[in-house]
């Protein structure tokens, strides 16, 4: 979304609203799954799905979830086939693009917080969103390291 910082922070985007609703529903399902399934019941997974449910943003996980469906169906060859698209989307969206978007969000947020009475509708909302951004960015860095290590290991085995 272009325009001014005010437009980016408060502008309406019907497409973004629809994507957020769809993603939030998807992440509600994921949140329930990670709470109920012991192998996924970790603070990182629960936190990630709770925050992305709140924010409505997690497109790169779609191939990962497709791989989980293949795994549940016992289709291991298809599980392996779902890994490269996940890695590619993760590295492109979460590792490369996320910091760019985050920096823009921080810049716009700090602009709004410089004159909170005129520009910020809620200091609590800004604190929550900026805190969520720090949390998710930390997870992206952590998971990028894990993915790169796994890719390196897989390439070393070939």
The secondary structure of 84-128 as a DSSP string is: HHHHHHIIIIIIIIHHHHHHHHHHHHHHHHHSHHHH-S-HHHHHH
Three-class SS of residue 83?
A: helix
User: What pTM was estimated for this model as a whole?
Assistant: 0.76
pLDDT of residue 69: 86
User: Tens digits of per-residue pLDDT, 11-34?
Assistant: 888 988 898 888 888 888 888 988
Q: Are 67 and 83 in contact (CB under 8 A)?
A: yes
* CA angle 73–76–80, rounded 5-degree value: 125
pLDDT of residue 158: 75
Query: What's the CA gap between 61 and 82, in Å, rounded?
Result: 11
User: Tens digits of per-residue pLDDT, 55-107?
Assistant: 767 778 888 888 988 998 999 999 999 999 999 999 999 999 999 999 999 99
pLDDT of residue 149: 96
Backbone φ/ψ region at 98: left (φ over 0), alpha (ψ -120 to 50), beta: alpha
Query: What's the CA gap between 30 and 126, in Å, rounded?
Result: 25
Q: Place 1 in a pLDDT band, splitting at 50, 70 and 90.
A: low
């Amino acid at each position: 979304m272009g325009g001014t910082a005010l437009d980016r922070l408060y502008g309406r985007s019907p497409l973004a609203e629809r994507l957020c609703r769809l993603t939030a529903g998807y992440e509600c399902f994921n949140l329930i799954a990670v709470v109920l399934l012991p192998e996924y019941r970790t603070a990182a997974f629960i936190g990630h799905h709770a925050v992305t449910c709140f924010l409505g943003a997690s497109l790169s996980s779609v191939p990962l979830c497709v791989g989980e469906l293949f795994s549940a169906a016992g289709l291991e060859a298809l599980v392996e086939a779902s890994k490269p698209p996940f890695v590619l989307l993760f590295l492109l969206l979460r590792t490369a693009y996320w910091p760019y978007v985050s920096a823009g969000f921080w810049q716009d947020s700090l602009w709004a917080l410089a004159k909170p009475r005129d520009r910020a509708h809620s200091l609590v909302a800004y604190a929550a969103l900026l805190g969520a951004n720090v949390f998710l960015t930390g997870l992206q860095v952590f998971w990028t390291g894990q993915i790169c290590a796994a890719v390196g290991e897989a390439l070393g085995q070939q």
